[in-house]
């Protein structure tokens, strides 16, 4: 459905070159749901804009829905849907009018467009607002309208740039329900970016992590976490017996770092334990046998933030792990 080779975008700002996207290779098969994850300015929107013909690549190639983005941009546009990062509704227009006209732009006839618009308004919880002008919608309502605009013509390939930003949890859940249903019914291929790590984590089968214009990881969320991070384990033992488990914990961390700090007569060890949930019981038993029983234990499954930290040495910005 999507195939890119060395896709690159440079901007020139005041005679200086900004390398926004540095030669990315992406392959997306029909029906996949892929999330781009990365900090602000990583190049997510720029990549999406090149794939949707809103920006011309500086170099490299991209074929989208079987059409080359440079050779036939109009052909690409006829085959995709795009929900950009900004609000797409015209400010003085009524919600329903904008939806219907969007359908008309994509060649739907007026009765189909009207029916589809009402269907989307209902499922995105906007039915009461259909006659409001866009400027009188709240931020979250506007975002839902953007989503409705992008879904009007039921595209087979849909790009969404941070679709759920600004929505409350209820509406995020609605949005995802809608996307999942569309996917199940029509086999829609979906490429999205998100600031919400839990979304990338739980909803997409595949996460592409972008940093500084490079793809630094591309796999299922589960495998990314299992391969790179391991569960975060914290165990406390009495200060007197700490020396008996240092070697043991070091081996369990399999080369990873073991940090420790002591307070109030206990020593707290922290380490990454691959497959922690499976291995922790055995580890506890070994500690018992070594004469240093654990006084408390905390085991946290890794998040994509941990994956990012491990790959780059940096945290994904605030907001990402909300």
Ligand X SMILES: Nc1ncnc2c1ncn2[C@@H]1O[C@H](COP(=O)(O)OP(=O)(O)OP(=O)(O)O)[C@@H](O)[C@H]1O
Among 20, 24, 83, 96, binds ligand X (CB under 6 A): 20
Neighbours of 63 (CB within 10 A): 18
Residues in the chain, overall count: 322
Residue with tokens 């546009």: 77
Decide: 253 and 223 in contact? Cβ < 8 Å: no
141 binds ligand X (CB under 6 A): no
**278 Cβ contact partners less than 8 Å away, ≥ 6 residues apart:** none
Residue 178 near which of other proteins, ligand X, Mg ion, none (CB within 5-8 Å, type-dependent): none
**Least Å distance between CB 162 and Mg ion?**
6
Q: Which is nearer to other proteins, 85 or 241 (CB)?
A: 85
Query: What angle (nearest 5°) sits at the alpha carbon of residue 212, between those of residues 26 and 222?
Result: 55
Q: Which is nearer to ligand X, 18 or 297 (CB)?
A: 18
Decide: 20 and 46 in contact? Cβ < 8 Å: yes
Residue 269 near which of Mg ion, other proteins, ligand X, none (CB within 5-8 Å, type-dependent): none
The neighbouring-strand residues paired with 82 are 159
Residues 40-99 within binding reach of ligand X (CB under 6 A): 40-46, 85
Decide: 113 and 128 in contact? Cβ < 8 Å: no
Q: Which residues bind other proteins (CB under 8 A)?
A: 1, 30, 52-56, 65-66, 74, 77-80, 82, 84-94, 97, 101-102, 104-108, 146, 149, 153-156, 186-187
Residue 198 near which of Mg ion, ligand X, other proteins, none (CB within 5-8 Å, type-dependent): none
Q: Which residue is nearest to Mg ion (CB)?
A: 45
Residue with tokens 């011309």: 56
Residue 223 near which of Mg ion, ligand X, other proteins, none (CB within 5-8 Å, type-dependent): none
CA distance 19 to 8: 8
Residues in contact with ligand X by CB under 6 A are 11, 13, 18, 20, 38, 40-46, 85
């Amino acid at each position: 459905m999507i195939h890119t080779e060395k896709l690159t975008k440079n901007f020139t700002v005041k005679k200086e070159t900004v390398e926004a996207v540095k030669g990315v290779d992406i392959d997306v098969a029909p029906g996949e749901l892929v999330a781009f994850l990365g900090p602000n300015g990583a190049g997510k929107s720029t990549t999406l804009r090149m794939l949707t013909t809103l920006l011309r690549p500086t170099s490299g190639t991209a074929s989208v829905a079987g059409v080359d983005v440079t050779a036939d941009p109009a052909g690409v546009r006829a085959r995709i849907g795009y929900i950009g990062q900004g609000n797409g509704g015209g400010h003085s227009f009524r919600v329903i009018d904008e939806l219907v006209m969007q359908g008309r732009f994509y060649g739907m006839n007026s009765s189909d467009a009207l029916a589809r618009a009402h269907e989307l308004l209902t499922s995105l919880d906007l039915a009461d607002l259909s006659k409001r002008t866009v400027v009188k919608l709240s931020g979250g309502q506007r975002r839902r309208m953007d989503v409705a605009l992008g879904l009007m013509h039921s595209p087979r390939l849909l790009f969404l740039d941070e679709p759920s930003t600004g929505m409350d949890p209820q509406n995020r859940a609605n949005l995802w329900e809608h996307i999942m249903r569309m996917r199940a019914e029509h086999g829609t291929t979906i490429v999205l970016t998100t600031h919400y790590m839990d979304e990338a984590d739980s909803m997409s089968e595949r996460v592409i992590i972008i940093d500084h214009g490079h793809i630094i990881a591309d796999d299922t969320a589960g495998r990314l976490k299992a391969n790179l991070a391991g569960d975060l384990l914290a165990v406390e033992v009495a200060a007197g017996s700490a020396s008996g488990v240092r070697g043991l914990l070091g081996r369990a961390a399999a080369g990873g770092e073991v940090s420790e700090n002591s307070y109030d007569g206990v020593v707290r060890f922290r380490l990454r334990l691959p497959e922690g949930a499976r291995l922790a019981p055995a580890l506890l038993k070994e500690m018992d046998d070594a004469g240093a029983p654990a006084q408390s234990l905390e085991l946290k499954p890794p998040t994509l933030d941990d994956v990012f930290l491990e790959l780059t040495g940096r945290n994904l910005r605030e907001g990402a792990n909300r």
